[in-house]
Structures are given as C-alpha cells and as structure tokens.
Amino acid sequence: MRKIVQASLLVASLLGFYFIYKSIAGPIEFEKESQQRFLEVIAKLKDIRKIEEAYEATHKKYTAKFSDLEDFVDNGYFYITTQRDTSWVDYDKHYKIDVTKQTVLIDTIQKIPVKDSLFKDNDRYKQLSYVEIEGKKIPITIQTGEVTGGNNVKFSVFEVKIPKEEVLEGLDEDEIQKEIRRVGVNDVKGEFISIGSLKEVSTSGNWPSSYDERLNKRATRK
C-alpha cells in the first residue's frame, strides 16, 4: 500500500512539474514559432507593397489582381526622362503678328525593366497570392479603393492581409487567441497581418519595426 501511495505521489509530482514547465516554456515556444511564421508573411507582404507602389506610379492606381502585379514585373518598364523648355516664334493670324510660344519637351533617355529593378535574378514575385506555412498554402487577399483628401482630391488605396489564425494553425489554441487580441506597440496588432489601409492613405504594415530589422539582417546575410 505504501508503495502505491509513493508511486501515486511520484506521478502527481511529475505531472505538476510538467504543467509548470508547460506554463513557462509553452508561451516561449509559441512566441518563437509565431515570430518565425510572421516573418515569412511580412516578407511576402513587403514584396507586394513594393510592386503595388511601382504599379501605382505607372498606372496612377493600385490593383487588386495578383495577375496584374506579376504581368507588371514581367513586362513593365521604368522610364527615365528629362525635360527641357523650348520656345519658337509663330505667326498669329488673328492679330497678324509674330508671337513667342513656349512648351516643355519630355524626352525618354532610358527604360529599365521592372523585373531587373525590383527582382533581379529572383522569381519569388510569381508566388505572391499565398504564403506556405508547414506545407499549407494560405491565401493572401488584396482590396483596393479610394479615399477623399483635401480639396476633394481622390487617392487610390490598397490593403493586403492574411488571418493570424490561419498562419498559426497547429499551435496552442489558447496562445493563438491571446495573439489575435494583441494591440501593443511591440505586437502585430489585431487578427490579421496586414499592410496598407482602405480608410486612409497609408502603405504601412501593422507590425513593429523589429520585424523589419530582422528581415534586413537576413537579407544582408544572403
């Protein structure tokens, strides 16, 4: 009987140590894994932003189609131009006098393929519509719209996002729910990882700068 009691106490102690360890190490392991997954997503969102901004500079609006972005990288060009003032004398038939006219001439001096500028020797822009996490392809969504600024000027805007819950699938459910509710300055805020906005003119992401710093270090090591 005594041995049974001792064995039961040992099992209870081991279980106690396990739950203590889990309560301490579990959140640490979750934080480490979630940050790694978020880095992969953020890298993809930054690629999308880079192309969207270049696309808007050329077409004067953003696009919600990944096929448009891919085609723009494959076939688009950046044009380097120069402009010069010119003038000439023309005869005004109404007033029957010579008048001086002026205009600005814009000359294209060079054109650079978008792909060479943004993704030289890299074709990762062909997989922009999803992020692959643990073998699962999680779709990314793009929305575009317009916001009205001062003097009723309309601005094209876009928002790209992916649900945190899908990115973190397979991890501890309690920790996932805590992560979704986070809104601190050092957190990826809210239930999505996102970039841009449909409510204001912004192309910022909803993550802290520490993620950008880690991605910059990773790029430097390559």
What is the per-residue pLDDT across 49-99, written as a single tens digit (0 to 9) for each?
999 999 999 999 999 999 999 999 999 998 776 777 777 667 777 777 776
Flag whether 151 is in a domain: yes
For 46: left if phi > 0, alpha if psi spans -120 to 50, otherwise beta; the answer is alpha
Within a domain: 1: no
Residue 73's CB is within 10 A of a number of other CB atoms, namely: 24
Nearest alpha carbon to residue 207 among 184, 187, 177: 187
Please give the tally of structural domains in the chain.
1
Tokens of 81: 């131009």
The answer to the question of residue 20 being in a domain is no
| 213 is a domain residue | yes
pTM: 0.80
pLDDT band at 215 (very low <50, low <70, confident <90, very high): very high
Q: Give the burial string for 83-109 (b: 16+ CB within 10 Å, else e).
A: eeeeeeeeeeeeeeeeeeeeeeeeeee
Query: Is residue 15 included in any domain, yes or no?
Result: no
Residue 25 included in any domain: no
Which residue range forms the structural domain that includes residue 127? 34-222
110 lies in a domain?
yes
- Closest-CA residue to 132 (of 211, 37, 201): 37
Q: What is the pLDDT of residues 110-158, one digit of tens each?
A: 788 999 999 988 899 999 999 999 999 999 999 999 999 888 999 999 9
Rounded distance, CA 26 to CA 5, Å?
30
